[in-house]
Structure 1
Amino acid sequence: MSRKLLIGTGVALSLLISPISQVFAEEPTKGERKQVDNVAHRGAAGYAPESTIAGFDLAVDMKADYIEIDVQRSEDGELVVIHDTTVDRTTDGTGKVGDLTFEQLKSLDAGSWKGEQFAGESIPAFEEILERYHGKVGILIELKAPELYPGIEEEVTEALKDHHLDKPQNEKIIIQSFNFESMKKMNGLLPHVPIGVLTYSRAHTTTEALQEFASYADWVNPSYGIVTEELVDGVHSLGMQVGSWTVRSQEAADFLFEMEVDAIITDYPDYVDPGNEE
């Protein structure tokens, strides 16, 4: 039996021995929204430049449960946080992330495109994110195109171990990727850290595909365009959770609430929790 299914079994047993009143108290009443994790996509990217300290700080101020980050590697081996595999869209530079040194990447302006008030925001180092935010907010770590960076799984593992985040007590570290083989590898390297698989393909929502994911993953994270009640029920039946992306409208957030997903990954944290306004 996989560690994922063992966890599910343990949860089921704990419910059996819990006081019945406690179990019923945790059931949502009719019309009550299920509690979901509010995940700030690349920080509060709707309001501040994505993948910058300004965006991540705002997400924390808006009381997001997690910040979502994308990890890549510089030409000289430093782990950095940026979404695209090139710097062209979100900085004043050009070129592939993996072809630029850490010094070159840090010298770029990653904020002005979003507004003059963000001028001088830089591309953060992965280490910088861990030091600044661990213990303050959950961190959903995406390995971006890990096939471009051989060995990045081991490097991310080492960084998390250095910060004692390889055995998170509150499951506030999650690692995800579109690269399933990379996630199988991460599951072996960090058996105590929840693993997520990202997909926008309905081919990955079949019973067979979900059963395969359940052998190494804790989360199935689909684009909201392919989310259905059947998919959510299928994922839950295998002891996994669903985190859907990327919410950029209130309508999309409301739809995902209706589908009873476990996490909503959004550029606008206030769409998930109206109390978290800027």
Structure 2
Amino acid sequence: MMSVVFISLFNVPVFAATGETATTQQQQKIVNVAHRGASGHAPENTMAAFEKAFQMKSDYIEIDVQMTRDGEVVAIHDTTVDRTTNGTGFVGDFTLEEIQQLDAGSWFDEEFAGEKIPTFEEIVDAFRGKIGILIELKSPELYPGIEEKVANILMERNMHLPNNNKVIIQSFNHESVQRSKELLPNIPHGVLAGMSWADVTDEQLLEFATYADYFNPNRNMVDEELVDRVHRSGMEVYAYTVRAQEHADQLFEAGVDGIITDFPEYVYDFSGLNE
């Protein structure tokens, strides 16, 4: 599936009879990543959000994984459950049974009352082969061994094999990315970069490229020069997090390879339009 940023949901370009323009060819290469699922439309990191992203024809769902007290890998962004559930406390202090008793949907809208915090295995089993999965190891320093847990779940399902091109693993913890890459050498990995990396050097990018396939920066860092430098280092750029159409348009102009967004409609799918 190939995706394209566009100005308006109703402003669909008409292709020339002589063929696609270079601009259109560039647009069609942009990968549409649904941030925590289609989290602008459903509660983040829930099956409802992931299913919505699939329905909206995203290329990937992005999920955050952490670990419960009894060693189960679950999808949740914050290190506490306070913001996105009706509970309080740290994720790592709950057993799986306890954390799945929480309501992870009502905070977003009563329509989603009763949504649960899903396990990584549930997500993989429901969506592998249907949509790509971008896995963020969230605060892995809090969860020793989470890289191995994730690797084992993927390997049990043969998702680590070279012909599987729909899984990516990333983290802000670059040591964790290195550990994961050693365990899963055939799976592409990415380093996430916040604003502290705004002045990243070419030498640092080349170092990242020894174990990472993606340099995924905060959108506020991104300009055409950064994208060009990342590309010269041999990596691709998936920028985060888009919550407005104008920001998607700016990233398109900068030449990014993918856009991570709460609203998949801001990165529109034109696959099949010219068939």
Name the TM tier (shorter chain). 0.7 to 0.9
Residues 175-254 of structure 1: matches in 2 within 5 Å?
175-200=169-194, 201-203=196-198, 205-254=200-249
- Cα pair distance change 1:113/1:154, threshold 3 Å: same
Aligned to 2:110: 116
Selected match of 2:151 from 135, 153, 157: 157
Identity of aligned residues (%): 58
Aligned to 1:89: 83
Residues 73-88 of structure 1: matches in 2 within 5 Å?
73-88=67-82
| Higher relative contact order (CA closer than 8 Å, sequence separation 6+) | 2
- Cα pair distance change 1:238/1:112, threshold 3 Å: same
After superposing on structure 2, the runs of 4+ consecutive aligned residues of structure 1 that deviate more than 3 Å are: 30-33
Superposition TM-score, scaled by structure 1 size = 0.87
- Cα pair distance change 1:235/1:27, threshold 3 Å: farther
Give the drift of 1:171.
1.6
Superposed CA deviations along residues 145-194 of structure 1, whole A, max 9, x for unmatched, are 00000011111100000111112524210000000001111111100000
Q: Which runs of 5+ in 1 are unaligned?
A: 1-25
Q: Which runs of 5+ in 2 are unaligned?
A: 1-18
Residues 23-172 of structure 1: matches in 2 within 5 Å?
29-30=22-23, 33-34=26-27, 35-172=29-166
Give the drift of 1:133.
0.4
Q: Which amino acid aligns with 1:63?
A: K
- Supply the distance in 2 between the matched residues of 1:104 and 1:260 (Cα, whole angstroms): 44
Corresponding residue SS for 2:237: strand
Q: Which amino acid aligns with 1:218?
A: D
Superposed CA deviations along residues 62-120 of structure 1, whole A, max 9, x for unmatched, are 00000000010001111100000000000000000000110111000000011111000
- The question of whether the paired residues in 2 share the 8 Å contact of 1:204 and 1:210 is answered with no
Aligned to 1:17: none
RMSD: 1.7
Give the drift of 1:275.
7.1
Corresponding residue SS for 2:240: strand
- Supply the distance in 2 between the matched residues of 1:150 and 1:209 (Cα, whole angstroms): 26
- The question of whether the paired residues in 1 share the 8 Å contact of 2:57 and 2:269 is answered with no
Superposition TM-score, scaled by structure 2 size = 0.88
